[in-house]
Structure 1
């Protein structure tokens, strides 16, 4: 099966400092996380200091890059099956 993203839901996970979203391989849910630092760099006006960014800022940055994030998630998923995936800056190079 192919990894798909039919559910547009995403949320900010404070404990991981990342945005969580889900992909689906058939009937199996595959959890993904994108580090906040990746999204901070992509946000408008975001500086190197992430402390002034809100949860809404990270979610907006995710929404703006959703297609690219899904592409990176598909690539990470194709490299081997895991229980969850943390996408970092190195995955976006």
Structure 2
């Protein structure tokens, strides 16, 4: 079962994604939500890194629910979340 006790997240310019982490027991799982997906969630273009992090924070419960579903269907340690996951 995956959990999200760590509220840390960061924007990775090279991937144009917000990265966050979940944990399955002692295993750390990395998740990425791309700029395009965050803009789709917000239903507007973003104004940059700070705005993307704010969109992520405002939608964290939904994004973590999607991440948990994705993890349960295909276990691994790296998940770029895409439109099909939402």
Specify if TM > 0.5: yes
Q: Work out the number of aligned pairs and report it.
A: 86
Counting helix residues as a fraction of each chain, which structure ranks higher? 2
Task: Tell me the residue number matched to 1:57.
Answer: 51
Q: Which runs of 5+ in 2 are unaligned?
A: none
Task: Tell me the residue number matched to 2:15.
Answer: 16
The structure that has the greater radius of gyration is 1
In the TM superposition, structure 1's runs of 4+ consecutive aligned residues that sit over 4 Å from their partners are: none
For residue 17 of structure 1, report the CA deviation from its aligned partner: 0.8
Is the Cα contact below 8 Å between 1:43 and 1:61 reproduced in 2? yes
CA RMSD of aligned residues (A): 1.4
Deviations 1:26-55 (A, max 9, x none): 1110000001111112337x24xx5xx210
Asked if 1:73 corresponds to 2:72, the answer is no
- Aligned ranges 1:20-39 → 2 under 5 Å: 20-39=19-38
Task: Tell me the residue number matched to 1:82.
Answer: 76
Normalising by structure 2, we get a TM-score of 0.92
Normalising by structure 1, we get a TM-score of 0.85
